[in-house]
Chains A and B, each alone.
Chain A
Amino acid sequence: MSIEPGSPLAGARWFLLYLSGLASILIAVLVIPLLFLISIGGGWLPNTAMNPKALSAVALSLGAGAVSASFSTLFGVPLAYILSRVDFRGKSLIQGLLDLPLILPHTVAGIAVLLAFNSRAPLGQLFSPLGIRVEDSLYGVVLAMVFVSSPFAVNFAKRGFDSIDLELEKVARSLGASAQRVFLTISLPLAWRSILTGWLMSIARAISEVGAIMVVAYHPTVAGVLVYEWFLTRGLKAAAGLSVLLLIASLIILTGLRAMEERR
């Protein structure tokens, strides 16, 4: 480790070593379990990769994660733009509500979604005629994922809109562009990276969800739920094998998308 010339840490080698010592404890807490997971689960990977139930659970997690993140982004970007550009009564309350899913216990989030959207609740009854019910259905999986992951989509998009110099939008208005045109041709392209990051973070959060999904829709089984099921029925090593499969699939997709964005 070297200190960059001109850095304010010049001559503070011992202090840096002390900080590094503390930092390495946290890194160890994070990395060691992952190493165990990969080394033990890796041995079970060939078996797991041939298991149709495991494969369909991973595919469902990734697919439902992408759909829920896209839903959150589609409806979250307009919300983020309003929160970034407009001051109104109750704005802080909405921002607080948006962050609530991040701190709620996951099972509580699931119970809230189930109470609001179950087929006997007023909202659920609205969708029942369309053949949409959330209990033990793909709709339920996606809805639970949206509930827990949409704050990422909204917050990252808002951060993107916040970082835009407002003069860039004002100039476009003065040159003849309507507010809608400015949003589409100036604001969205400038916030695009943040919106994409929010979408990716939203997918990552959705894939990792277990508690809320188990309450709303245990079936069809997503990978996170199946890991828990295998842990109870087949033991730690089988669950580790499935976990590694999910880890690899998520890494390939997320880093692939990130790389595509970097090349843009």
Chain B
Amino acid sequence: MIRVEGLRVRAGDFKLYVEELSIEGGEYLTLMGPSGAGKTIFLETLVGFRRPEAGSIYIDGRDITDLPPERRGLAYVPQSIALWPYMTVYENIAYGLRIRGTRESELHRRVLEVAEYIGIEGLLKRMPETLSGGEKQRVALARALIIKPQAILLDEPLSSLDEASRESAKELIKRLHRELGFTAIHVTHDPVEAAELGNRMAVMYGGEIIQVGRPMEVFRDPKSMEVAWLSGRPNILEGIVKSCEGGVLLIDVGEVELKAVHPKPLPTGRRVILLLGREDIVLSRSPLRSSMRNQLRCRVAEVEELGPLIEVELARGGVSLRVLITRGSYEELNPKPGEMLYAGFKATAVKIIPS
């Protein structure tokens, strides 16, 4: 277990203060917040690259606050992935064991084992510059996991990947965590990513952790305006898988059927939670002629102005959807409560979390 108490860190004019945070062994904690919130500074303090002015960090009850990074056992995976460019993939993965003086035969066995487990055994002789973003990501995970660290600290590890690689990287991380049960702290600015991956989610703002809880609790019950704003208040729906064909799930949500793309097949009857960003929904007065696989004719329940954006609340057969539109779209559509509108969104915009 990692425990942080009364941690104060100063970086120039920026001050970070974490009164108390515990991460249980085997837990996957996502740390979500906007740029400049202090997420990376917090992570760097945990790893040992920044010295706190006050406070303590414990791992399994042992105070590690004054230990140098190499003696903390926290494997760091930065945003840039940072594979050593002059080493082969094999040497990159082997580095942590090599500096521990592991015998060559044992080292070779463990590199092959972790490479096979992560599905990169065919890349071992390659140089990092020849790898795709997704492959680099896998190598970085293998390099961190091979030393069996106390925890893995990931700083926005998916932000440099394209959409397709990001989805498969998420699935890989979920599988590895499920099967290996390592402890992880994963920094992200994406609330949906935080919800998809985290057992728990901590929201950081202005150098402080302002809410910690299960992602759905944080979304449903934000304790402050900042949390509500940062979490993007996605639409959260509950449903049951009706069918699964070609990677597309058909899900019963109340009296509505929605389509969602999910990388893994889920059995019929499985209960799932659906996350749908408010900005991912398009509104129209007539049926949409586009590739969007979800189109619903809904009644406008409420229209609320939120500064430069307008939130339109829609209702259809017991399902409530909140949609953010720009002022330009608002003036064009001019939606009024009680009117009927078409709401369209892509199947890929619906994020599925098996409940």
What is the interface of chain A, defined by CB distance below 8 A to chain B?
165, 167-168, 170-179, 181, 185-186, 189-190
Q: How far is the CA of A173 from the CA of B80 in the complex (A)?
A: 16
Q: How far is the CA of A176 from the CA of B77 in the complex (A)?
A: 14
Q: B147, A176: Cβ atoms under 8 Å? A: yes
Q: A165, B80: Cβ atoms under 8 Å? A: yes
Identify the 8 closest CB pairs spanning chains A and B, nearest first: A174-B76, A175-B96, A167-B82, A173-B69, A167-B78, A171-B82, A168-B82, A177-B99
Q: A174, B47: Cβ atoms under 8 Å? A: yes
Q: A178, B80: Cβ atoms under 8 Å? A: no
Q: How far is the CA of A185 from the CA of B91 in the complex (A)?
A: 12
Task: Decide yes or no whether B68 CB sits under 8 A from chain A.
Answer: yes
Decide yes or no: A177 and B70 within 8 Å by CB, A168-B84, A190-B86 being known contacts: yes
Binding site of A, secondary structure by majority: helix, strand, loop or mixed? helix
Decide yes or no: A174 and B75 within 8 Å by CB, A181-B99, A189-B86, A190-B86 being known contacts: yes
Q: B74, A174: Cβ atoms under 8 Å? A: yes
Task: Decide yes or no whether B259 CB sits under 8 A from chain A.
Answer: no
Instruction: Name the B residues within 8 Å of A186 (CB-CB).
Output: 84
Q: Count of A-B contacts with CB under 8 A?
A: 67
Task: Decide yes or no whether B14 CB sits under 8 A from chain A.
Answer: no
Decide yes or no: A173 and B70 within 8 Å by CB, A167-B78, A181-B99 being known contacts: yes
Could you pull out 25 A-B pairs where Cβ atoms are within 8 angstroms?
A: A165-B80, A167-B78, A167-B79, A170-B78, A170-B82, A171-B76, A171-B78, A173-B47, A173-B70, A174-B69, A174-B76, A174-B153, A175-B70, A175-B143, A175-B147, A176-B70, A176-B73, A176-B147, A177-B95, A178-B68, A181-B70, A185-B95, A185-B99, A190-B84, A190-B85
Task: Decide yes or no whether B117 CB sits under 8 A from chain A.
Answer: no
Q: A170, B100: Cβ atoms under 8 Å? A: no
- Number of residues from B at the complex interface, CB < 8 A: 28
Question: Which residue of chain B lies nearest to A173 when distances are taken between CB atoms in the complex?
Answer: B69
Q: A167, B80: Cβ atoms under 8 Å? A: yes
Q: How far is the CA of A176 from the CA of B98 in the complex (A)?
A: 10
Q: How far is the CA of A173 from the CA of B44 in the complex (A)?
A: 12
Q: How far is the CA of A178 from the CA of B100 in the complex (A)?
A: 11
Instruction: Name the B residues within 8 Å of A167 (CB-CB).
Output: 78-80, 82
Instruction: Name the A residues within 8 Å of B74 (CB-CB).
Output: 174
| Extra pairs beyond A171-B143, A174-B47, A176-B147 (7, CB < 8 Å) | A171-B78, A173-B47, A174-B75, A174-B153, A175-B96, A178-B70, A179-B68
Q: How far is the CB of B279 from chain A (nearest CB, A)?
A: 32
Q: How far is the CB of A176 from chain B (nearest CB, A)?
A: 5
Q: A175, B95: Cβ atoms under 8 Å? A: yes
Instruction: Name the A residues within 8 Å of B70 (CB-CB).
Output: 173-178, 181
Q: How far is the CB of A215 from chain B (nearest CB, A)?
A: 44
Instruction: Name the A residues within 8 Å of B68 (CB-CB).
Output: 173, 178-179
Specify which of B78, B86, B99 is in contact with A175 (CB 8 Å cutoff): B99
Instruction: Name the A residues within 8 Å of B73 (CB-CB).
Output: 176
Instruction: Name the A residues within 8 Å of B44 (CB-CB).
Output: 170
Q: How far is the CB of A185 from chain B (nearest CB, A)?
A: 8
Q: How far is the CA of A209 from the CA of B68 in the complex (A)?
A: 46
Question: Which residue of chain A lies nearest to B100 when distances are taken between CB atoms in the complex?
Answer: A176
Q: How far is the CA of A116 from the CA of B179 in the complex (A)?
A: 68
Instruction: Name the A residues within 8 Å of B79 (CB-CB).
Output: 167
Question: Which residue of chain B lies nearest to A181 when distances are taken between CB atoms in the complex?
Answer: B99
Q: How far is the CA of A174 from the CA of B78 in the complex (A)?
A: 11
Q: How far is the CB of B204 from chain A (nearest CB, A)?
A: 20
Specify which of B49, B72, B96, B143 is in contact with A170 (CB 8 Å cutoff): B49
